[in-house]
Structure 1
Amino acid sequence: MRVAIVTESFPPDINGVAHSVLRTAEHLVRRGHQPLVIAPASAAPPTTPDPCPVVRLPAVPLPGYPQVRLALPTRRLEQVIAGHRPDIVHLASPFVLGARGMAAADRLGVPAVAVYQTDLAGYARAYRAGSGLGEVAAWRRLRAVHGAAARTLAPSTPAAQDLTAHGVPRVKLWQRGVDSVRFHPGHRDERLRRELAPDGEVLVGYVGRLAPEKRVDLLAGVCGLPGIRLVVVGEGPSEPMLRQALPGAAFLGRMTGDELAALFASLDVFVHTGPMETFCQTIQEAMASGIAVVGPAVGGPLDLVAHRRTGLLVQPKDVRAVTAAVATLAADPALRARYGEAARTEVAGRTWESVGDQLIDHYGAVLAEHRSARAVGAAGGAAA
């Protein structure tokens, strides 16, 4: 198949959308398909070779959050899609560029699959967008884009239910894979542990963007627990505030690749605090690393964390609940080990190869429906 992937983000950007699109493109190439990626231009140069042709369109930084870049409106998008002659258009977390990609696919008569990955309505609520984009307007935009797609793929059961409840049709489940070779308990680094916890403290970590919607400030209570060292990995506009709110925490900045894998495996407890996750890839990476996890009992983590078997789910936005859960795990090494072992077993089979093949099956079903609809239309026209 020839696949045009229109995405709101792509490496060297670091986020869930960019990572899943990269893995998707790599898998399509391995399976003999021909993907083309169309993405906003990043402010940073690529750090690794692209797995397939990539067209980067002019983009500007989001005001107040320069790490996020928005593609500028341009007719070139439709020209690039048409030039690729795709069998199907894949829209990754469509909102700005993806909305134009949906319109282009419709004009070209090419079926589109829309992949829902970002709780944009929740973001609008969290940021109280002054541009007039509120939660209601965000859902109106999401319904318009996803409603025009032949199929919408949701990353978790809660996300699928949320889309359906808001009137989005033709929703199917498509979860994310994890590299269980890179993220592995065997990458635990005792030297790194000694650097971060010289007095043998329990290492508790957060990995992700440092932005208001992630609610990393909920880890403030953890900083007050005796015998615990908090490690924060990531960057974003909230970092200055968090450095004050989380006294004693080690801020390690942006980490990727083997360095990030070693950090995950060297933790004792992983905590994710964001209440608006449609999936939460970092929880899955921590689980693959054999680490007990704490996550909010809402959204994507509900599908990932088996409460009191692979980790602990807590009331969202509740600093005391987060602190209590971390304290429970910090005080019981045997419990941490049991949860971590069960977590590794839970996700070890969720490879990018397996979920990539599931995506190709979704493509095949959409193309079969498209051909059937065209045949029915042609027969109807002939009969008339």
Structure 2
Amino acid sequence: MTKITIVTDAWYPQVNGVVRSIENTNRELTRMGVEVSMITPQCFSSVPCPTYPEIRLSVASYSAVAKAIESFGPTSVHIATEGPLGLLARRWCLKNHLPFSTSYHTRFPEYVAARFPIPINWLRAFVRWFHNAGNGCMVATASLERELSKLGLKNLLRWSRGIDQTQFHPMLLEDRPFGLPRPIFLSVSRIAVEKNLPAFLDLDLPGSKVVVGDGPERAELQRRYPNVLFTGMKTGEELAHAYAQADVFVFPSKTDTFGNTILEALASGVPVAAYPVTGPIDIIEEGSGAGVLHEDLREACLAALALPRENAHSLARKFTWEAASKQFLNNVLIAQGRKSLAPPPAGFNALRT
């Protein structure tokens, strides 16, 4: 039997693309007969991340992580994040000569550099050191694969994403959703600096703007944009209903590696407006009529208003968690058969000190 230990520093109560991707993949792997164990911050004490207290950093010892892995006896280890747990699991795998895979979910160098005065080249060196030690690094899209390859990452493997279309689907449209006049321009996002929400909130658009989500920048953005409705975090049916009532889904981020919320909007029958960057360009197929990508986000928003909602729903049907999870499992098996554990790149010693 295939037994996989997945190690992630991102887990509940966080709600983000990393958590949702792993959660849905675990469900499908279980259906395939794969046994999965999780090592997450819930297993250990934790402290709030400086500048971003919603994220908890695990306070775990090497021996505690080693015991958690060894007690399960996995045939494979997958390390999802570059945080404290990921580093300890990486150390264990190297020490015990167990091939492992990793995944690149977020633009780690850019996110850290936006919050701390660390040279981005050091952070990129860290990313190479972390991921190239493994036997396969999973990335969500072709454009991200090309980008990371240029940065020196090796053994890149494709792992796409899916969407739960039993939860996210078109619904009967209300005249005044959220009690606001149409058209409704909606963004669902963690409210943090890297999500570039002001690029959306500053736009001169007809109708109403709605932001669903929470995060460290929420209070400041609510103060700056009193005419925008900030609903806070929504989950389950409430979230699905919020998506389905929008006229256009606006994705202003330029730093995401995929954009799970894009799939949720498409499955809800909502056209997408976004910049032509990694994530949107990989999901919104040219000629699909499911969204508009443009360097002028306002132009994209207005053009998306004219798109048929069925086009969005039709494109979303191509993305299933079953297919994505089979891809993940195949990548894990490929990584098992690969050799060589790369040394740290030149210049990384500066970061470690």
Answer whether TM exceeds 0.5 for this pair.
yes
Provide structure 2 residue ranges, at least 5 long, that are not aligned to the other structure. 341-353
Q: Identity rate of aligned residues, in percent? A: 29
Match 1:327 to one of 266, 284, 302: 302
Q: Deviations over 1:228-287 (max 9, x none)?
A: 111110001111221133231111100011111111111100001111010010011111
Asked if 1 retains the 8 angstrom alpha-carbon contact of 2:273 and 2:304, the reply is: no
Query: Which residues in structure 2 correspond to 1:283-298 (within 5 Å)?
Result: 283-298=262-277
Tell me the residue number matched to 1:310: 290
**Which secondary structure state, in structure 1, belongs to the residue aligned with residue 216 of structure 2?**
coil
Tell me the residue number matched to 2:65: 77
Mapped partners of 1:201, 1:88: distance in 2: 50
TM-score, scaled relative to structure 2: 0.90
Mapped partners of 2:286, 2:49: distance in 1: 37
Query: Which residues in structure 2 correspond to 1:178-327 (within 5 Å)?
Result: 178-185=163-170, 187-188=171-172, 190=174, 194-198=176-180, 200-222=181-203, 224-226=204-206, 228-306=207-285, 309-315=289-295, 321-327=296-302
In structure 1, give the amino acid aligned to 2:151.
H
Report deviation, 1:328.
3.4
After superposition, the Cα gap between the structure-2 partners of 1:328 and 1:72, relative to the gap in structure 1 and judged at 3 Å, is same
Report deviation, 1:19.
0.9
Asked if 1 retains the 8 angstrom alpha-carbon contact of 2:99 and 2:338, the reply is: no
Match 1:67 to one of 33, 38, 54: 54
Q: Deviations over 1:10-54 (max 9, x none)?
A: 12320111111111221222211211100113xxxxxxxxxxxxx
After superposition, the Cα gap between the structure-2 partners of 1:221 and 1:323, relative to the gap in structure 1 and judged at 3 Å, is farther
Tell me the residue number matched to 1:177: 162
Tell me the residue number matched to 1:156: 141
Tell me the residue number matched to 2:45: 58
Asked if 2 retains the 8 angstrom alpha-carbon contact of 1:5 and 1:91, the reply is: yes
Asked if 1 retains the 8 angstrom alpha-carbon contact of 2:292 and 2:303, the reply is: no
**Which secondary structure state, in structure 2, belongs to the residue aligned with residue 71 of structure 1?**
strand
After superposition, the Cα gap between the structure-2 partners of 1:91 and 1:188, relative to the gap in structure 1 and judged at 3 Å, is farther
Report deviation, 1:135.
1.3
Q: Which of structure 1's runs of 4+ aligned residues deviate more than 4 A?
A: none
Asked if 1 retains the 8 angstrom alpha-carbon contact of 2:294 and 2:300, the reply is: yes
In structure 2, give the amino acid aligned to 1:32.
G
In structure 2, give the amino acid aligned to 1:255.
K
**Which secondary structure state, in structure 2, belongs to the residue aligned with residue 99 of structure 1?**
helix
Bigger mean CA offset, 250-259 vs 341-350 = 341-350
Mapped partners of 2:251, 2:268: distance in 1: 15
In structure 1, give the amino acid aligned to 2:292.
L
Bigger-Rg structure (1/2): 1
Match 1:147 to one of 132, 151, 162: 132
Q: Deviations over 1:64-83 (max 9, x none)?
A: 21111111241201111111
In structure 1, give the amino acid aligned to 2:189.
G
**Which secondary structure state, in structure 2, belongs to the residue aligned with residue 9 of structure 1?**
coil
1:120 aligns with 2:102: no
Q: Deviations over 1:122-159 (max 9, x none)?
A: 113333x13xx331121111111111111111011121
Mapped partners of 1:363, 1:221: distance in 2: 43
Mapped partners of 1:220, 1:23: distance in 2: 31
Mapped partners of 2:332, 2:307: distance in 1: 40
Provide structure 1 residue ranges, at least 5 long, that are not aligned to the other structure. 42-55, 316-320, 374-384
